[in-house]
A = this chain, B = another copy of it.
Amino acid sequence: MNQILMPEIIFSGKNLIGKAVAHSTQTLGKIQSIFEHGDMITAQQADNIAYNVSSYLPEKEGTPGGLYFGITDLYPGLVGNEYFMTKGHFHDNVDSAEFYWGIEGEGVLILMDEQGGIKGERMFPGSLHYIPGRVAHRVANVSDSILSFGACWPSNAGHNYDTIAKNGFTARLKKIDGSPRFV
């Protein structure tokens, strides 16, 4: 009672530190199918990290009114001429929004509405991005170093990865003449 405590979680630079932080890793092998030429990923490359996610999930999944907080480190690289990227998802609870913000490195936030309309937003340290409900989102690293970005989303948003796994996005972000272009 009436105590002044240290916070449970430290958000130091691009790292979340604390007992309650959950970690997950996606290797190139695990996300092979999201790339147009995923078959170019060799058995040797399959264990390479594509991205790491650190999350602070202080509420039970599905709790209305609660919030989650996460940091993603997305590695640089290409599969053919397609940039390393996250799987991408809609939210299960379709009206749920999310904030992303750039911490380190450079990327493109790829947004797709329910009609398949595509928009990209440049991510860089200090960029802030509001992702409204009903908009699928995926991030591509277009730099030569790790892209770190923060995220905050409702604890009842849920992740619908299936729609994207099945149908993909309506455009792919590729390195063309040295620059990111949608094709």
Q: How far is the CA of A152 from the CA of B132 in the complex (A)?
A: 14
Contact A121 B10 (CB under 8 A): no
Q: Whose C-beta in chain B lies nearest to the C-beta of A21?
A: B128
Q: How far is the CA of A118 from the CA of B127 in the complex (A)?
A: 36
Contact A67 B98 (CB under 8 A): yes
In the complex, whether A138 has a CB less than 8 A from a CB of chain B is no
Interface size on A, residues (CB 8 A): 53
Please tell me how many copies of the chain the complex holds.
2
Contact B128 A66 (CB under 8 A): no
Contact B128 A16 (CB under 8 A): yes
In the complex, whether A4 has a CB less than 8 A from a CB of chain B is yes
Q: How far is the CA of A96 from the CA of B65 in the complex (A)?
A: 4
In the complex, whether A105 has a CB less than 8 A from a CB of chain B is no
Q: How far is the CA of A12 from the CA of B128 in the complex (A)?
A: 9
Q: Whose C-beta in chain B lies nearest to the C-beta of A123?
A: B7
Contact of A120 among B3, B122, B182 (CB under 8 A): B3
Binary CB contact string for chain A from 114 to 134 against chain B (1 if under 8 A, 0 otherwise): 000111111100111110110
Contact A56 B126 (CB under 8 A): no
> Hey, which chain B residues are within 8 Å of A153, CB to CB?
67
Q: In A55-76, which residues have CB < 8 Å from any B CB?
A: 56, 58-59, 64-67, 69
In the complex, whether A9 has a CB less than 8 A from a CB of chain B is yes
In the complex, whether A154 has a CB less than 8 A from a CB of chain B is yes
Contact B128 A9 (CB under 8 A): yes
CB of A62, distance to nearest CB on chain B (Å): 13
Pairs of residues from A and B, 9 with the lowest C-beta to C-beta distance, nearest first: A65-B95, A4-B120, A2-B182, A9-B128, A152-B152, A11-B128, A7-B127, A58-B130, A12-B126
Extra 5 A-B pairs, beta carbons < 8 Å, given A1-B118, A4-B182: A3-B119, A8-B130, A11-B128, A16-B128, A59-B132
